Amino acid sequence: MIKCDIKFGYTCNNQCVHCVVADDRRALEDLNLPTDLGTGDWRAILDTYRDVGAEYIVLTGGEVTIRPDFAEIVDYCCKSGLFIGLQSNGRAFADAEMCRVIEPVERIYCTIAIHGSTAAIHDAITGERGSFDQTVAGLRNLRAIGKGVTAKIVISKFNMHALPDILDLLDNVDIKQANFAFPHALGDARINFIDVVPRYQDIKPVLKHLVEKGRQLGIGIEFEAIPFCIVPDSPECVTEIYDLEKSIRLFKPVASTTLDWNEVRPAIKKKGKDCDQCLYGLFCEGCWSEYVDHFGDEELEPVKEASEATIRLISAVAALTADS
């Protein structure tokens, strides 16, 4: 399968402290270049991807739902026979009118960013008062119109102790999948590094608790950019195993050519000096380079003995690679 992520623009109605695209947006602004694709631009990109056999298009940004041509984008993807993966902060779906845009679309899956269990935490992260209430309403509405939703939570020092409470909130709005992503120190996460990026060692107990609580609530847990050795009891939750699927992953930033995400991703990650001794070395990409550059690699302790968790991981990888 060919999957393509398209950044439709860097404009957003949130101003998250961990925003990874903020540098890209500022670079274009400094050059007086557009920070968002025009309608003609995205039509040409979608046509190209469709013509090379792409089946799955991820609409991402910035925030794609605030574009005046959002409905047109959705319609164009549907008419092109493309499955839509929608990445959004979900605020727009507090509005019933916006829900009607995607309600008839059957081939769509939503990933909605929510970063706190309360307005105080979430709005402090997004920098937008009222964003929490809108995102929660959006989550509720998306489920009410029958859409599949994964909640995407970027871990930070702002929310690390309240992550388990987010699962209660998700349970309350009928969300059954949660992706906890480690912050990538680019853009505003680079500028706010000290305030944003936690140590793996400090979140380890919380991650363990998330898996246990997810099991109790029937919510699937995923960990992104968190190496297997940080969650040794639940390595099957690490999303890197999905990257072992034999799919082609293309990635289109606003102002540069298409990149191969399967090549780029390992190149912007780093492993530790002892990783070659680890059982998971073959599957593992390590962590974001900026993390190792800042904190070193002492926390990356090679897993040397197989356990029940190892067997679960191998089964999960076998199932994924057999399906792809």
The token duo for 1 is 């399968």
> Is residue 182 near ligand SF4 by the rule CB under 6 A?
no
> Is residue 288 near ligand SF4 by the rule CB under 6 A?
no
Nearest residue (CB) to ligand SF4, 34 versus 266: 266
On whether the CB atoms of residues 297 and 277 are closer than 8 A, the answer is no
Q: How far is the CB of 20 from ligand SF4 (least distance, A)?
A: 21
Member of 59, 303, 313, 317 binding ligand SF4 (CB under 6 A): 303
- Residues with Cβ within 8 Å of residue 315, at least 6 apart in sequence: 236
**Cβ-based burial of 140 (10 A; exposed 0-12, middle 13-18, buried ≥19):** middle
Q: How many residues bind ligand SF4 (CB under 6 A)?
A: 15
Q: How far is the CB of 198 from ligand SF4 (least distance, A)?
A: 17
Nearest residue (CB) to ligand SF4, 139 versus 230: 230
> Is residue 292 near ligand SF4 by the rule CB under 6 A?
no
219: left (phi over 0), alpha (psi -120 to 50) or beta: beta
Member of 302, 310, 314, 316 binding ligand SF4 (CB under 6 A): 302
Q: How far apart are CA 302 and CA 289, in angstroms?
A: 18
Q: How far is C-alpha 200 from the chain's CA centre? A: 18
Q: What number of CA atoms fall less than 13 Å from residue 83's CA on the CB side?
A: 13
The SS3 call for residue 85 is strand
> Is residue 18 near ligand SF4 by the rule CB under 6 A?
no
Q: How far is the CB of 205 from ligand SF4 (least distance, A)?
A: 17
> Is residue 266 near ligand SF4 by the rule CB under 6 A?
no
Nearest residue (CB) to ligand SF4, 185 versus 278: 278
Segment contacting ligand SF4 by CB under 6 A, of 28-36, 108-116, 280-288, 304-312: 280-288
Segment contacting ligand SF4 by CB under 6 A, of 47-55, 131-139, 248-256, 279-287: 279-287
Please give the helix or strand (H or E) that residue 320 lies within, else none.
helix 308-323
Q: How far apart are CA 7 and CA 95, in angstroms?
A: 23
Where does the chain show beta strands of DSSP type E?
A: 2-7, 56-60, 83-88, 108-113, 149-154, 177-181, 220-224, 248-252, 259-260, 269-270, 287-288
> Is residue 284 near ligand SF4 by the rule CB under 6 A?
yes
Question: Which positions from 132 to 171 touch ligand SF4 by CB under 6 A, shown as an x/- string?
Answer: ----------------------------------------
Member of 17, 275, 313, 317 binding ligand SF4 (CB under 6 A): 275
Q: How far apart are CA 250 and CA 264, in angstroms?
A: 10
> Is residue 286 near ligand SF4 by the rule CB under 6 A?
yes
On whether the CB atoms of residues 98 and 65 are closer than 8 A, the answer is yes
Q: How far is the CB of 314 from ligand SF4 (least distance, A)?
A: 14
Report residue 280: phi and psi, to 5°: -95, 10
> Is residue 228 near ligand SF4 by the rule CB under 6 A?
yes
The token duo for 166 is 């987010």
The token duo for 268 is 């912007």
Nearest residue (CB) to ligand SF4, 125 versus 287: 287
Q: How far is the CB of 299 from ligand SF4 (least distance, A)?
A: 8
Residues 198 to 227: which contact ligand SF4 by CB under 6 A?
227
Contacting positions for ligand SF4 (CB under 6 A)? 227-229, 271-272, 275, 278, 280-281, 284, 286, 300-303
